[in-house]
Protein backbone atom coordinates (compact mmCIF):
# COMPACT_ATOMS: atom_id res chain seq x y z
CA UNK A 1 0.00 0.00 0.00
CA UNK A 2 1.35 3.42 -0.96
CA UNK A 3 -0.29 6.27 0.91
CA UNK A 4 1.54 9.50 0.15
CA UNK A 5 4.44 11.31 -1.49
CA UNK A 6 7.18 11.88 1.09
CA UNK A 7 10.02 13.28 -1.06
CA UNK A 8 10.30 14.86 -4.44
CA UNK A 9 13.28 16.54 -6.06
CA UNK A 10 13.68 19.88 -7.71
CA UNK A 11 16.77 20.67 -9.74
CA UNK A 12 18.04 24.23 -9.52
CA UNK A 13 21.03 26.11 -10.84
CA UNK A 14 21.85 27.63 -7.48
CA UNK A 15 20.81 26.05 -4.16
CA UNK A 16 21.43 29.14 -2.05
CA UNK A 17 19.47 31.38 -4.40
CA UNK A 18 16.64 28.83 -4.38
CA UNK A 19 16.81 28.78 -0.55
CA UNK A 20 16.43 32.57 -0.44
CA UNK A 21 13.42 32.40 -2.73
CA UNK A 22 11.57 29.49 -1.16
CA UNK A 23 12.31 30.24 2.49
CA UNK A 24 12.67 34.00 2.72
CA UNK A 25 10.30 35.08 -0.05
CA UNK A 26 7.47 32.59 -0.28
CA UNK A 27 7.61 31.13 3.22
CA UNK A 28 8.58 27.48 2.78
CA UNK A 29 10.12 25.79 5.83
CA UNK A 30 13.52 24.14 6.06
CA UNK A 31 13.18 20.48 6.96
CA UNK A 32 16.82 19.40 6.70
CA UNK A 33 19.89 21.38 5.71
CA UNK A 34 23.14 19.51 6.06
CA UNK A 35 26.37 19.58 4.07
CA UNK A 36 28.29 16.33 3.61
CA UNK A 37 32.07 15.96 3.70
CA UNK A 38 32.26 15.97 -0.11
CA UNK A 39 30.44 19.31 -0.26
CA UNK A 40 27.04 17.88 -1.19
CA UNK A 41 24.28 19.89 0.47
CA UNK A 42 21.12 17.99 1.36
CA UNK A 43 18.52 20.71 1.54
CA UNK A 44 14.88 19.78 1.87
CA UNK A 45 12.03 22.25 2.19
CA UNK A 46 8.36 21.85 2.97
CA UNK A 47 5.41 24.00 1.93
CA UNK A 48 3.92 25.80 4.98
CA UNK A 49 0.89 23.50 5.29
CA UNK A 50 2.55 20.28 4.10
CA UNK A 51 5.20 19.56 6.73
CA UNK A 52 5.59 15.95 5.66
CA UNK A 53 6.33 16.58 1.99
CA UNK A 54 10.06 17.15 1.62
CA UNK A 55 11.19 18.87 -1.56
CA UNK A 56 14.88 18.15 -2.10
CA UNK A 57 16.49 21.18 -3.70
CA UNK A 58 19.26 19.69 -5.77
CA UNK A 59 22.15 21.01 -7.79
CA UNK A 60 22.36 18.50 -10.68
CA UNK A 61 25.84 19.52 -11.64
CA UNK A 62 27.41 18.33 -8.40
CA UNK A 63 30.70 16.56 -9.10
CA UNK A 64 29.89 13.28 -7.35
CA UNK A 65 26.84 12.52 -9.44
CA UNK A 66 26.55 9.29 -11.34
CA UNK A 67 25.01 10.86 -14.43
CA UNK A 68 26.89 10.72 -17.69
CA UNK A 69 28.31 13.90 -19.16
CA UNK A 70 25.57 13.81 -21.77
CA UNK A 71 22.82 13.71 -19.13
CA UNK A 72 24.53 16.39 -17.04
CA UNK A 73 24.74 18.64 -20.08
CA UNK A 74 21.10 18.02 -20.87
CA UNK A 75 20.18 19.12 -17.34
CA UNK A 76 22.36 22.16 -17.72
CA UNK A 77 20.66 23.13 -20.98
CA UNK A 78 17.18 22.67 -19.51
CA UNK A 79 18.01 24.76 -16.47
CA UNK A 80 19.81 27.48 -18.38
CA UNK A 81 16.72 27.84 -20.53
CA UNK A 82 14.30 27.89 -17.59
CA UNK A 83 12.63 24.98 -19.33
CA UNK A 84 11.64 22.88 -16.33
CA UNK A 85 8.08 23.26 -15.16
CA UNK A 86 8.38 22.28 -11.53
CA UNK A 87 4.82 22.09 -10.29
CA UNK A 88 1.76 23.95 -9.15
CA UNK A 89 1.67 26.05 -6.00
CA UNK A 90 -1.76 26.39 -4.44
CA UNK A 91 -2.96 29.79 -3.33
CA UNK A 92 -6.38 30.69 -1.92
CA UNK A 93 -6.32 33.88 -4.00
CA UNK A 94 -4.08 34.25 -7.03
CA UNK A 95 -4.59 38.01 -7.47
CA UNK A 96 -3.78 38.90 -3.86
CA UNK A 97 -0.75 36.62 -3.70
CA UNK A 98 0.45 37.99 -7.04
CA UNK A 99 0.26 41.54 -5.65
CA UNK A 100 2.10 40.52 -2.50
CA UNK A 101 4.87 38.62 -4.27
CA UNK A 102 5.30 41.26 -6.95
CA UNK A 103 5.86 43.83 -4.21
CA UNK A 104 8.58 41.52 -2.85
CA UNK A 105 10.31 41.52 -6.24
CA UNK A 106 9.21 38.09 -7.49
CA UNK A 107 9.32 37.74 -11.28
CA UNK A 108 6.30 36.45 -13.16
CA UNK A 109 6.24 35.02 -16.65
CA UNK A 110 2.53 35.77 -16.73
CA UNK A 111 0.09 37.70 -14.55
CA UNK A 112 -3.05 36.08 -13.07
CA UNK A 113 -5.36 34.91 -15.79
CA UNK A 114 -8.66 33.07 -15.70
CA UNK A 115 -8.13 29.58 -17.08
CA UNK A 116 -10.44 26.61 -17.36
CA UNK A 117 -8.93 25.09 -14.20
CA UNK A 118 -8.78 28.30 -12.15
CA UNK A 119 -6.82 31.54 -11.96
CA UNK A 120 -3.17 31.05 -12.75
CA UNK A 121 0.04 33.10 -12.76
CA UNK A 122 3.49 31.77 -13.68
CA UNK A 123 6.43 32.41 -11.34
CA UNK A 124 10.08 32.30 -12.32
CA UNK A 125 12.88 32.93 -9.85
CA UNK A 126 16.09 32.62 -11.78
CA UNK A 127 17.02 29.08 -10.73
CA UNK A 128 16.23 27.24 -13.94
CA UNK A 129 12.58 26.37 -13.49
CA UNK A 130 9.14 27.87 -13.18
CA UNK A 131 5.99 27.28 -11.19
CA UNK A 132 2.32 27.75 -11.76
CA UNK A 133 0.63 29.58 -8.91
CA UNK A 134 -3.00 28.61 -9.08
CA UNK A 135 -6.23 29.36 -7.32
CA UNK A 136 -8.44 26.44 -8.30
CA UNK A 137 -12.03 27.03 -9.23
CA UNK A 138 -14.48 26.08 -6.53
CA UNK A 139 -16.95 23.36 -7.48
Contact residues toward other proteins (CB under 8 A) are 7, 9, 29, 32, 34, 36, 38, 40, 42, 44, 48, 56, 58, 62, 64-67, 92-93, 95-96, 99-100, 103
Per the CB < 8 A criterion, the answer to whether 4 and 30 are in contact is no
CB of 93 to other proteins, least distance (A): 4
Closer CB to other proteins, 9 or 126, in the complex: 9
CB of 127 to other proteins, least distance (A): 19
Per the CB < 8 A criterion, the answer to whether 102 and 121 are in contact is no
Closer CB to other proteins, 2 or 103, in the complex: 103
User: How far is Cα 58 from Cα 73, in angstroms, rounded to an integer?
Assistant: 15
User: How far is Cα 50 from Cα 65, in angstroms, rounded to an integer?
Assistant: 29
Amino acid sequence: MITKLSHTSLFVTDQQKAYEFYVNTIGFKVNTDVTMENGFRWLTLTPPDQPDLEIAILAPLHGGMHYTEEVTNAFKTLLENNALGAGVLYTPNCHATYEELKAKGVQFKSAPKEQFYGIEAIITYGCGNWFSMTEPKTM
